[in-house]
Chains A and B, each alone.
Chain A
């Protein structure tokens, strides 16, 4: 159990249970686990997903951040918790969606401030997390959404636009209903996801419902991270929606080559379209504006759309694993249904979770 936990009413040692054979284990909330595995299983089906996403994280940095519960007074506080959550989320997000962008908006003093413009670079987010955050005043959902809308206006249509709200107050200072802003967002097919730490706030629940997003109230840190890791996978596109036709469209991309292949230290690349020098992909070419990515990014981005099919479990264990060329010690082996090559348990896991590609099958 992490020392940083969001004012949980329960105590860490209450989660420890005794097994049948007397060993201790941590009884995490099983309900979310089930949903999560379900999500993984769904990956196998043919679903249209966005390849490039632009996610804006709206952080509630109002005076509710300074609040502390009596029990949690020795803990680092909500700001630290929020930073840690954001850091973990950003790492996993860029790992899963290497072409996507992430931006941060802060709500404080009744305004929505852009803290990090949408960026494809993990370092930007991490360095933001290291800086101290300004907090205080009242939060305004309306202003936050408006700012997000302005930012998202310049994002091309084929990009999935999402807003993730991490909210910890029980109120907003908006004097009027936010219906008009929600309508604007819906027109741009922006989806809003809400994680509300302080309990269900109706206006946010409704926002999530209206923009076909989701609403969560996490009980503790574990659940928060599980919920957030769900966001790192791109969401299926509703095939009946307006954005469906826009999502399926060829996007011009270029795969740049190193300007000097023999010099590993030199990180400059050549744009295949205008032959100008650019920085390390993924990036936009500064001259012709072409989206530049590497082959690795492409394969990592398509993994959610074309996941590696599950291998068949067989009892026919080979001498040597095709992947790691090591002796197979377990009772089972896994066979690729396409090329009939057999892999050990560890390799099977590695191929499915990290590589997403069978090395012996032709691409």
Chain B
């Protein structure tokens, strides 16, 4: 907390690593909220933006905030005059009787627009048959109801409020962003420039921005600026263009002015911001530097027919590149140069404005069901991004399936098609593009997570200089984790998942026997992490042949993660039921998979033991990764090896971090790879894991694990009475007083020494 105050007062940025479940959130929020609440904070109009990864985490933050507010109220006899707000997508916020039934986010968005877009409302005024959203109308007409009082409003609170007042909670929350003091939301609201623009949540001078669970923040930054075009999308684009052309023809016959009006709109070039209110932004325009957006859309695509024909040409060109069936890696300018070679009759300039123009067209044609035209929008934003960015980006064609000679079964072909269809990708290599503007404007940016080690990497990747970098150890009264590094089998064969040896039968067998041993001893849930899906598949195959799987099945029910999210969710659910029943479960999953990060799916008895087989290096064969590595080396001086091992250890400690979710939780961590025992690798683990990882536990063989695990589980099984925790992980007011006294004395002593010198 004291460190946090230093960060705030110095207006700098910080990186904090604290083990999960030890009150990270409450420590951050309580201090910042009190800081906001103080007269000093209020006079400066400070604002806290708290960003988490998932919606579930958002609601947890709200619960914590409510407790903080209640606490302040208790001590000062007055509720803080702060407004705390949660934001989320329409899917999570909508309370309209029919729209809220939608399952997917884009569907929900588009059906909302069907009812709330400005032209729909205009038409509804004339023609009462057109359905509008009564909640939105109420919101729009009554400005009194748009106001939010002070207090904490979580998503559910906003929904209830919306029902009470009969107004739309989504628009209410968007509206209140300007006035709120504390905003809780997902990463995308800050990192993704498209969404950011849409709702107007720009970082301001006095903002304090907290990124929670931010171990993958560089990847989220990159993702928000990357675009991809899969092969199949081009076909749907062609369909879209065709239907648009038809639509234009139709309209021309029935409603002649439309297109004139369209052109008028173009030529007038009314200020975009003034013209478009929140409801009228039909699609998110991609992130483009302002100097370009302020220029007028070139005349060559002003006419809607010309525009569509240009689009057709662009699609054709891309198809042509796909037909080459060769993986390539080019810089955007090179890619565009190739295009201009083919397209000598077109100027390249219009590419930059495709997305903009498409939005205008949709607006004039009054198209509301944007779900259908989603692929066309994606294509246009791809074009716009390709043409505007150059340095730090590259265009990569990946997943090309070589034409094989031997016949393959249909199932395998379908499988390949599903998971590795040919994709044209625009990759951003530098998270700084997104992150630096945020750091430059906001007064403090705090990045925090359970697993951020090695800490010095983040400032280099994200391009900012932190005031403070700190990794905290655990302050729980007992040793609640048991990390162990298993390096060899009983017959002294080193265990490793190095690519050259990973399919060696003896290693596969030894991994199997380790897993059998562990499942026999550990009650309830055991989770095993593998470096990749392909390795998981092959090892399962060999275990089946060896009979290992059968033995595992005697001990625990076995569940396997697949790349399909629905299948995985089902497996996870059944795994949890198995743990609840007492039968016990073994969940095999892939590090970096969906299961391995976020979500408290392995808390308590659902995950008593985590086993990490091998160091999860990323697949270096991927072209986009290679391009990124090269960029990092040339631009930031981070060598390939450095980044790869950073990334692998980050993934590994992320997997291990699943084990502890709350204060009373405990669990075993087993890292099964020879390479984990290297000092250089071990140093990259978070401090709270290193704290318990003694030399003796770093070089164990498979059968040596049983003893420590047994005695550990027995020690942990006895619940600790509360009074043992007091003074260690729970402090009463007296403890804090004592601590302050001690600190004061220490500082006085130090000063005394200085004076003496």
Contacts and interface: CB of A to CB of B under 8 A. Distances in A.
Contact of B521 (A10, A170, A178, A219): A170
Given A198-B713, A199-B522, A171 B582 contact: yes
Interface stretch (B108-116, B281-289, B702-710): B702-710
A198 B716 CA distance: 11
Nearest to A179: B580
Query: Which of B522, B523, B579, B580 is most buried by chain A, counting CB atoms within 10 A of its CB?
Result: B523
B710 A202 contact: no
Interface string B698-736: 000001001110110111111100001000000000000
A8 interface: yes
A196 B580 CA distance: 16
Contacts of A199: 521-523, 608, 710, 713-714, 716-717
Given A170-B520, A171-B523, A203 B714 contact: no
Contacts of B714: 9, 197-199, 217-219
A99 interface: no
B581 A178 contact: yes
A173 B604 CA distance: 21
B718 A219 contact: yes
Contact of B522 (A170, A178, A204, A217): A170
Contact of A200 (B521, B523, B556, B711): B523
Contact of A202 (B524, B555, B711): B524
A7 interface: yes
Contact of B584 (A141, A171, A200, A204): A171
Contact of B577 (A172, A177, A196): A177
B675 interface: no
A69 B608 CA distance: 21
A362 B717 CA distance: 49
Interface in B481-504: none
Interface residues of A, number: 33
B62 interface: no
Contacts of A219: 711, 714-715, 718
Given A174-B582, A200-B605, A217 B718 contact: yes
B583 interface: yes
Given A172-B581, A199-B713, A71 B523 contact: no
Most buried by B among A70, A173, A196, A201: A201
Interface in A192-248: 196-205, 215-219
A203 B605 CA distance: 9
Contacts of B710: 7, 9, 69, 198-199
Interface in B548-586: 555-556, 577, 579-584
Contacts of B604: 202
A175 B581 contact: yes
A186 B579 CA distance: 22
A174 B717 contact: no
Nearest to B703: A70
Most chain A CB within a 10 A radius of its CB, from B584, B605, B707, B718: B718
Given A7-B710, A69-B710, A170-B520, A202 B718 contact: no
A73 interface: no
Contacts of B579: 202
A71 B581 CA distance: 31
A351 to B, nearest CB: 32
Contact of B717 (A69, A172, A200): A200
A176 B581 contact: yes
A264 B716 CA distance: 55
B523 A216 contact: no
Interface string A268-306: 000000000000000000000000000000000000000
B583 A175 contact: yes
A175 to B, nearest CB: 7
Nearest to B605: A202
B524 A201 contact: yes
Contacts of B582: 141, 171-172, 174, 178, 201-204
B519 to A, nearest CB: 8
Nearest to A141: B582
A202 B707 contact: no
Contacts of A204: 582
A172 B524 CA distance: 10
Interface string B171-197: 000000000000000000000000000
A177 B523 contact: no
A319 B384 CA distance: 108
Given A10-B711, A218-B714, A202 B583 contact: no
A201 B523 contact: yes
A42 B385 CA distance: 75
Nearest to B704: A70
A177 B580 contact: yes
A357 B584 CA distance: 52
Contacts of A196: 717
A98 B581 CA distance: 37
Given A8-B711, A9-B710, A219-B715, A174 B584 contact: no
Interface string A23-45: 00000000100000000000000
A216 B605 CA distance: 16
Contacts of B718: 216-219
A203 B604 CA distance: 12
A204 B523 CA distance: 11
A102 to B, nearest CB: 26
Contacts of A198: 521, 523, 710, 713-714
Interface in B582-624: 582-584, 604-605, 608
B262 to A, nearest CB: 63
A174 B584 CA distance: 10
Nearest to B579: A202
Nearest to A171: B584
Nearest to B666: A200
A224 to B, nearest CB: 11
A178 B580 CA distance: 9
A70 B490 CA distance: 14
A9 B581 contact: no
Interface string A1-18: 000000111100000000
B711 A171 contact: no
A216 B724 CA distance: 17
Contact of B583 (A69, A71, A171, A218): A171
A175 B580 CA distance: 11
Contacts of A176: 581
Interface centre among A31, A170, A218 (most CB of B within 10 A): A170
Contacts of B524: 170, 201-202
A7 B714 CA distance: 11
B598 to A, nearest CB: 23
A96 B581 CA distance: 36
A183 B62 CA distance: 35
Contacts of A202: 523-524, 579-580, 582, 604-605
A177 B522 contact: no
Contacts of A171: 523, 555-556, 582-584
Nearest to A173: B583
A203 B713 contact: no
B753 to A, nearest CB: 37
B581 A170 contact: no
A71 B580 CA distance: 32
A175 B555 CA distance: 14
30 contacts: A8-B711, A9-B707, A9-B711, A69-B710, A70-B706, A70-B707, A141-B582, A170-B520, A170-B523, A170-B524, A174-B583, A175-B581, A176-B581, A177-B581, A197-B714, A198-B523, A198-B713, A199-B710, A199-B713, A199-B714, A199-B716, A202-B524, A202-B605, A203-B582, A204-B582, A215-B719, A216-B718, A217-B713, A217-B718, A219-B714
Interface of B: 520-524, 555-556, 577, 579-584, 604-605, 608, 703, 706-708, 710-711, 713-719, 724
Of all A-B residue pairs in the complex, the 4 with the closest CB atoms, nearest first, are A217-B717, A9-B711, A203-B582, A199-B713
